[in-house]
Amino acid sequence: MGSEFQYRLAGNRMALAGGIIVILLFVVSLAAPLLAPYDPLAIDLTRILAPPSWQHWCGTDQLGRDVLSRMIWGAGISLKVGFVATGIAVLIGALLGALAGYYGGWWDMVIMRLVDVMLCFPTFFLILAVIAFLEPSIWNIMIIIGATGWMGIARLVRADFMSLKERDFVTAARVLGASDTRIIFRHILPNAMTSILVAATLGVAGAILTESALSFLGIGVQPPTPSWGNILTAGKDNIDIAWWLSLYPGLAILITVLGYNLLGEGIRDALDPRLRGGR
C-alpha cells in the first residue's frame, strides 16, 4: 500500500510540482535568517519605495525595508498560520464527524444541524465579525480560521464513518468487547485518514489565503511583523508608483496556494481506490 501510494504520487507530475513547491517553502521559512539579505524590520529612509535593483531584488517598501527579506520571513508566518489553523479545523471536524457518523440518531441530527448553521454564514464575514471583538494577533487569527473551517472535514469524516462502521472488522471488534472509544480511534479513524489528509492539505492553502486577505485588510498579522498580506496593503496604497509591492507578494501567495492544491489533488488521486485500477 505504502509503495503503491508513493509510486502513484511520484507518477503524478502536477502533484510532484506541488510537492516541490511545498518543500521549497519549508526550506525558505526554516532558513529565513540565512536567506534574507537584510533585517526585515530595518528602516532605511534613504531607500523609500526604491524599485528592484541588484541591492534590493524585490525593491523596498514605504519605510525603506527590503521587500525580499520581508517576504522570506513572511513565508514562515503564512506556513505557521496554515498548519495551526488547519490542525484546529481537523481536530474539531474529525471529532464531530466521527461522533455523528458512528452514533447516528440524535448525535447526527444535532451535529449536522450545527454544520448547516455554520455554513449559512459566509466564512470570511464570520471571521471578520469575530475578529471585531478580539485583538488582531497571529494566535487569534489561527484559532478563528480553524474554528470556522471544520465543517467540510466533519461532513467527510461522517460519511466515511457511516460506511466503515458496517464493515466486518468493526463487527469483529464489537464481538470481542472493544469499547466505542477504541473502535472509533483504533479501528475506524485510521481507515478514514485518506479524506482527512486530502482535506487538510487543501485546507492549508485556504488558511494561508484567508490570513493574507485579513492582513491585507489590516486585521490580520499586525505590522511590523512581515506578512504577505500586509506587504500587499502597502502595495495597494502605492500601486501607481510601486508596482513591485503588489506583484511579488501576490505571486508568492499564488504559487503557495497552487502548490498545496496540486499536492492535495495528487494525494487524493493516489489514495482513491477507484483510480488504482484505471491507470
Q: How confident is the model at residue 278 (pLDDT cuts 50, 70, 90)?
A: very low
Region 158-179 average pLDDT? 89
Cα–Cα dist 241/225, whole Å: 23
- Asked whether residue 275 carries a pLDDT value surpassing 60, the answer given is no
- Asked whether residue 220 carries a pLDDT value surpassing 90, the answer given is no
**pTM for this structure?**
0.86
| CB contact set of 188 (below 8 Å; sequence gap of 6+) | 98, 102, 160, 161, 164, 165, 170
Q: Of 244, 265, 138, which is closest to residue 201 (Cα–Cα)?
A: 265
- Asked whether 160 and 191 are in contact (CB, 8 A), the reply is yes
Q: Could you identify the residue written with the cell 526550506?
A: 27
Q: Which of 4-8, 76-80, 185-189, 249-253 bottoms out in mean pLDDT, i.e. has the lowest?
A: 4-8
- Asked whether residue 229 carries a pLDDT value surpassing 80, the answer given is yes
- Asked whether residue 95 carries a pLDDT value surpassing 90, the answer given is yes
- Asked whether residue 223 carries a pLDDT value surpassing 90, the answer given is no
Considering the segment(s) 2-45+57-276 as one domain, its CATH architecture is Orthogonal Bundle (1.10)
Ranked by mean pLDDT, the top range of 121-135, 150-164, 221-235 is 150-164
Q: What is the pLDDT of residue 222?
A: 81
| Residue 270 φ/ψ region, left for φ over 0, alpha for ψ in the -120 to 50 degree band, beta for the rest | alpha
Q: How confident is the model at residue 65 (pLDDT cuts 50, 70, 90)?
A: very high
Q: Of 27, 42, 17, 18, which is closest to residue 72 (Cα–Cα)?
A: 27
Region 195-217 average pLDDT? 88
| pLDDT, greater one: 82 or 122 | 82
Cα–Cα dist 200/59, whole Å: 35
Domain boundaries, the chain: 2-45+57-276
| CB contact set of 225 (below 8 Å; sequence gap of 6+) | 77, 138
Region 131-135 average pLDDT? 78
Q: How confident is the model at residue 274 (pLDDT cuts 50, 70, 90)?
A: low
- Asked whether residue 209 carries a pLDDT value surpassing 50, the answer given is yes
| pLDDT, greater one: 203 or 275 | 203
- Asked whether residue 177 carries a pLDDT value surpassing 60, the answer given is yes
